[in-house]
A and B are shown apart, each in its own frame.
Chain A
Amino acid sequence: QQQVKQSPQSLIVQKGGISIINCAYENTAFDYFPWYQQFPGKGPALLIAIRPDVSEKKEGRFTISFNKSAKQFSLHIMDSQPGDSATYFCAANFNTGKLIFGQGTTLQVKP
């Protein structure tokens, strides 16, 4: 019930392409869905987040799409750049500050 399932585990995209990472959850009590970005040797950092009352949120080249009925959400990275190469984690919580993280996706953007 508290799991967040993330796919794919790894992703290789050409520079300029679109990177798409998907997450699914079961617990309908979740009400906050952030994405974290982690570079090698660093801790994760908040990238973008969404609440279930909206279906999409865009910040620059990063967009979260949210499908409440399907209990799925995804991160889209438009015009992917080599500097976007990192590990991405989706997460969810229910108003407690305690995040449940997905399994992570390692993105490599080839020049």
Chain B
Amino acid sequence: DVKVTQSSRYLVKRTGEKVFLECVQDMDHENMFWYRQDPGLGLRLIYFSYDVKMKEKGDIPEGYSVSREKKERFSLILESASTNQTSMYLCASSPLGQGDSPLHFGNGTRLTVT
């Protein structure tokens, strides 16, 4: 069974702090994704990665960066946290395929920036 683990369930950070959100998957998936979930806006893609050290911007990359040094780990970095980045962050992985491979999500990290 695929397991996507996000390191923190809840995080509270101050404005201006550098924040790291960590995600690990145990199924050797090539693809990894970071989404942000906000009520009424659904899931919006921040960044994704198809391979180690490879990254591509999603729909809302501003204020975020990512790191993928190992295949199983994909980190989301908030360079200088702001209150408008208060949200639920979801990591997902999927195998390399033809677009119909299901995404396997972690349980999310609820980040509050004060």
Partner-B contacts on A (CB < 8 A): 2, 6, 9, 31-32, 34, 36, 41-46, 49, 51, 89, 93-104
Distance in angstroms from B23 CB to nearest chain A CB is 11
Instruction: Count how many chain B residues have C-beta atoms less than 8 Å from C-beta atoms of the other chain.
Output: 31
A32 in contact with B99 given A6-B42, A89-B43, A104-B42 (CB within 8 Å): yes
B4 at the interface (CB under 8 A from A): yes
Partner-A contacts on B (CB < 8 A): 4, 31, 33, 35, 39-45, 48, 50, 58-59, 90, 92, 94, 96-108
Q: Contacting B106 at CB < 8 Å: which of A32, A43, A100?
A: A43
Interface pair A31/B99, CB less than 8 Å apart: yes
Interface class of chain B by DSSP: loop
A94 to B48, CA, bound (A): 15
